[in-house]
Structure formats: structure tokens, C-alpha cells
Structure 1
């Protein structure tokens, strides 16, 4: 083999390698952007719903389908606009917005994320789907001694919060030291931390806190209290910034199930009639600017 043969062989190999890399890059890009962005894509291919491990509000069935209060609402809403295929992807709350932005999920379930101004910079929210307040799960020894995040800070108590959640921000704003803020991936883990006395109290929204205490706590040893000086919070489905059409369709589906009574039926099924307070009365725009 002469030099020209070697040169041609090397050039041919190089071209083949570059072509293979390019093909792999294209395949990787296509495989990565798996979730629907438009209504037509959602109707054709279905949607991927980001959920947390918070039964009965959110859970994954054995076949991978999303279930629980939030996903059941999402399905009812999206079925009104022709979406019939649903897949769930379980993750921590703090991972939901990055997953939506990177198209690994189409939307976060309607009960997963509260509408907050800083979140409105990263994603777009549907109209409010449920509203509630803030709560602490306390051991009996702290009964009557803690009623606010300020109390937690002043008493140097260790507080358990879910990562990236509203409760983490409220703790920081109240002056709770970083070392006293313990992150848990889901409510079950948080209650285990409380039972093992690795935290002094657990913070969550009112509905989740009440359910966790009822399912995993001893009513004689723990209690749930409403946190003083906190505002009404409303949860909604979150979408990527370029999914305006799909978000608008979701809002239309929500309007339809509220009008038909299906929305209240689902809320009653899970004992969450209290979560309807504020829905239809406060807007996403208002919550994004407060």
C-alpha cells in the first residue's frame, strides 16, 4: 500500500467517523426531546407528567401510569381537549422545572408546584387548580411553642422541607440557618426523619401535612398546625415556555370540568373540597407578581 492509499484510507475512515458522530448526535437530540410541546403532538403522542412520590396526591401505578389526585385531575382536564395517552415520571420537586425546560416532561402535575414569581420566570403555569395554606407537623413537645417560621428560626429548630419547595424559601426568608434546614425527597422520608428525631418539625402544604400525619404519624405524639403569617398558595400545572398552545388547551379543559362538576367530584373523592377555595377567584398573573 502506497502513501496515497493510506491517505485515502485515513480520509475515508475519518469521513465515516464524522458521519457516525453526526448521526449519533441527531439521534441523541431526538431521543432527548421526548415530550409534547404542541396540542397536536400531545393528542398524537400523549404527555409525560412529572409527579412526586406523594400518595395519595401523586403516585405511579405498576404499569408506569400516573395516578392520585393531581394526575387524575390532569387526565380529566386533558381528555377534554383530546389528549388520551398519559405517562408518569417520578422525581423530586426541585427536578420538575429543569425536566420541563429540557423536555423530559411535558408538564408537572397540577398539585405538584405552587405558582411563585420566581418559577414564573422559568415556566408558564395553567390557571390555579387547587389552593391551600402552609402547615407544620409537630411533636407533642412543641405544641403551643411554635406557630411560625420566625419561631423556628428564633428557637434554632431543625426543620424538614422538600427540596426546591416553597417551605424551603419561607424558612430561609425567616432567618432559619442553613444547617437547620434538612431536605427530604418526599413526605414519607420527611416523616421518618421526624420519627427518628433527626428534625424537630416538618413543613408542607396543609393537605399533604394532614395526610402524612394521619397515615404515618401517631396522633398522640404529633399534631398538624396552620402556620401563622403565611398567604394562600395555589398550585397549577407547569409547562415549558414554548408550550403556550398546550397550556391554553389545559386551561380550557379545566374550565370544562369545573363547569360539568367533574372537578368537584374528583376533589371530594380525595377529601380535598377545601382546596377549591380560591380557584376561579385568584389568577395566575396575580400569583406570578406577588
Structure 2
């Protein structure tokens, strides 16, 4: 059934983004036509997965097909419910929810977005697919001096975060000044900011931060630190508000690959065993609750 939906489209400067995440934004209203993607439509026409440029977790193959842990996991889950055609679109994290709302993407890859109450107002999430904490990569000179977002704020350090990610919100809530928060489009770009000394601290989820530090920096001059004072976060696949049938099918496929052992094999293949802690115990409803 086709209908009109009212969506908020906002334009603002980077500084205003950071400030208004807490106090609101000035927005304009725009309408567009949309319709729910049914399971039968997904089975016949396939799905488009929104992915970040974060190899080896998410990427596009030279032929345009999605690859990496997140998309591989998504495909295994969706094949269990009869969906066998997949395409991918690379985009920044902050663009994923608008892409899902406008039907440019059917879902976000399972490891791309953490489930947050504010995001639950805009999209619906599958059951948690991976869980973990947050991590910093910083110069060895700061080792022992920075282990929390409050430490970053108190020492007036510059921190790099991905746009729209949990770390951006945590930095703001801890009191980090807007001018000290730099947004990077992907992990590789963020690590370059650190190498170029444009930021003092690189922030991401703990597993990603640890992996990037090992792959992209000189281990003699940087250190990985697990962030203290934050709750466990869980990532899941996001769908349009009306795609309940498709989301429920995804949950069924997830249940099946967990039961068969396929899920754990994939996590071990990419060295993300620790990201399974909390999966099957923490619910999406709990994560969406304010």
C-alpha cells in the first residue's frame, strides 16, 4: 500500500550538528511516497544493503557485490528465509537511516548501527547481532591519562568520531566541546587524522578500534584503550518502519544461523568472538527503551 510519509530533512553546519544533538534542530518538512517492502518482493527482487567502507567488516567487491563480515552475515541470515539477491551501497554511517527511510537501501548491514532509543524512533531494528564496548586509539604519551570520554573533556583533547555514531553522542554527553569533536567518514580516515595529529584520540567500538590500531598505526607510538564508564552497546540490522514482515524474517534467519553454528563460525573467522557476548540475552526492546 502506497502512502505519503512526512519526514524531517535538516540542514546545518557541523558545529550546529553537535550542539543540536542535545537541544534540537531547525528543520523543514518534505513528503515522499513510500511503501513497505514485503518478504515476497525481497525474495523476487532482492535487497540493497547499506554498508560503510570499513574493510574487512564491510566493503564492496570490484564487481559491486557487498562483502566483509557484516554483509556475509546478512546474506547467510537472509538466505535462510529465501532471499538470494543482494546489492550494496557504500555510505557514511550518518546517511544510512535517511537511505532506509527513502528506500534507497532496504536495510543497514548488521554491524553498522548500534541500537539507540533515538534511532528506534526512525527505523526498526532486528535482534542484536553483535555487542561490545567502546575503544580509544591514542598516542602513547596519553597512555594512563585517558580512559573515558570525561577524561577527553576534562583535558580539552580533540577526539575523532564517525558521524552519527554512539561515540559522537557519548563525547557530547561527557562535555567535550563541539570544536574538539572531528567527524570522520570511515575508520581509515579517522586513523589518518590521528597520525597527522589533527586529533588526540580516535574513538570507535572496541573491536574495530583495536583492529584499526593493529593494521594502520605504528604500535610503538599508539595504544589501544578500552573505554570505561559506558554501557555495553549492541548492533543490529535496521529496516524501514513499515518493513515489519521483512525484519521478522531477518530475526528468524538470525535464529537459524545461531542454532546451526554458522553465526559463531563467521564471528571466529573475523576474530570477533568477543562481540558475541550479550547476543541472545539483551533484547532490542531493552536497547530502544529510554
What TM-score, normalized by structure 1, do the two folds share? 0.88
Q: Hey, what's the Cα distance between the residues in 2 that align with 1:167 and 1:150?
A: 12
- Name the counterpart of 2:21: none
Unmatched segments (≥5 aa) in structure 2: 1-31
- Name the counterpart of 1:45: 45
- Name the counterpart of 1:4: none
RMSD: 1.5
State the 4+ residue runs in structure 1 displaced beyond 4 angstroms. none
Q: Structure 2 matches for 1:1-290, cutoff 5 A?
A: 37-290=37-290
- Once the 2 structures are TM-superposed, how far is the Cα of residue 38 of structure 1 from its aligned partner? 1.1
> C-alpha deviations, 1:93-115, integer Å up to 9, x for none?
00000000000000000000000
Q: Secondary structure at the match of 1:146?
A: coil
Q: Hey, what's the Cα distance between the residues in 1 that align with 2:280 and 2:262?
A: 15
Q: Secondary structure at the match of 2:237?
A: strand
Q: Secondary structure at the match of 1:89?
A: strand
What TM-score, normalized by structure 2, do the two folds share? 0.88
Q: Hey, what's the Cα distance between the residues in 2 that align with 1:36 and 1:159?
A: 39
Contact 1:36 1:45 in 2 (8 A): no
Contact 2:65 2:87 in 1 (8 A): yes
Q: Secondary structure at the match of 1:111?
A: coil
> C-alpha deviations, 1:55-77, integer Å up to 9, x for none?
11100001111110000000000
Q: Hey, what's the Cα distance between the residues in 2 that align with 1:195 and 1:140?
A: 12
The structure with the greater share of residues assigned to helix is 1
Q: Secondary structure at the match of 2:147?
A: coil
> C-alpha deviations, 1:188-213, integer Å up to 9, x for none?
00000000000001000011101110
- Once the 2 structures are TM-superposed, how far is the Cα of residue 174 of structure 1 from its aligned partner? 0.4
When Rg is computed on C-alpha atoms for both structures, the one with the higher figure is 1
Structure 1 residues 36 and 79: CA distance shift in structure 2, 3 A: farther
Q: Hey, what's the Cα distance between the residues in 2 that align with 1:91 and 1:201?
A: 23
- Name the counterpart of 2:14: none
> C-alpha deviations, 1:6-51, integer Å up to 9, x for none?
xxxxxxxxxxxxxxxxxxxxxxxx9x97x97111111000000000
